Amino acid sequence: MPIHEGWLDGARRVPSPNQDVRPDGEVSLLVLHSISLPPGQFGGEAIERLFTNRLDPAAHPFFAAIAGLRVSAHLLIRRDGECVQFVPFQARAWHAGRSCWREGGVERRALNDFAVGIELEGDEVSPYTLAQYRALAAATRALLASYPALTAERITSHAHVAPLRKSDPGPAFDWAYFRQRLAGSGNFT
């Protein structure tokens, strides 16, 4: 899965208006998220509608509270492993919100300026699928190959960068398994 002009080959493109220019053009952090709309339900078009400002507030009681949000992610990985890209990687997606990254004694804020956001369709309690881990590992390898400032040590969770606000992708996400997939080691079925 190479990346060309900021777009992951093979990903379905659904451009989001919720993006802008990265101030310094830096891509050096990967933040993993989870999302399900309505909460705890998978499938459907609600996530794509949210990220493209087309969510119908009358379609579900939960949607009324979030329909006005202007958010996006670079990439969504559906339960079946399909990748949907909303924002090219060299642009700033609006995914991390108020957040902070600490490394080597240095604290940085405004993570959207330099982070890629990948949403996994899921919630914090349901196990993620093998297809999602495969797609995530492939997309991450492509990002690591395309952006030298991004390293395996600079992959984190929304919970880690916004611990008082967020807990995703949650305890259902198997970090050890993901890192094994990323390294290409182990016997995986």
86 vs 186 pLDDT, higher one? 86
Which residues are marked as active site? Answer: 119
The yes or no reply on domain 3-183 and CATH 3.40.640.10 is: no
> Predicted confidence band at 1 (pLDDT cuts at 50, 70, 90)?
confident
Confidence of residue 68 (pLDDT cuts 50, 70, 90): very high
- The CA distance from 180 to 113, in Å, is 29
Residue 176 phi, psi dihedral angles, 5° rounding: -65, -45
Q: Give residue 149's pLDDT.
A: 97
Average pLDDT over residues 54-81: 97
The percentage of residues in the chain with a pLDDT greater than 70, rounded to a whole number, is 97
C-alpha to C-alpha distance for 76 and 55, rounded to whole angstroms? 16
Residue pLDDT, tens place only, 20-55: 999 999 999 999 999 999 999 999 999 999 999 999
- Whether the per-residue pLDDT at 186 is higher than 80: the answer is no
pLDDT digits (tens, 9 = 90+) for 91-123: 999 999 999 999 889 999 999 999 999 999 999
For 9-146, strand residue ranges (E) read 12-13, 19-21, 29-35, 75-77, 83-85, 91-93, 100-103, 106-109, 115-121
For the segment 155-164, the average pLDDT, to the nearest whole number, is 92
- Banded pLDDT at 185 (limits 50, 70, 90): low
Confidence of residue 184 (pLDDT cuts 50, 70, 90): confident
Q: What is the pLDDT of residue 189?
A: 46
d(CA 35, CA 122): 5
Q: Which two tokens stand for residue 43?
A: 């499938």
Amino acid at site 41: Q
Give the model's pLDDT for residue 104: 86
Beta bridge partners of 34: 120
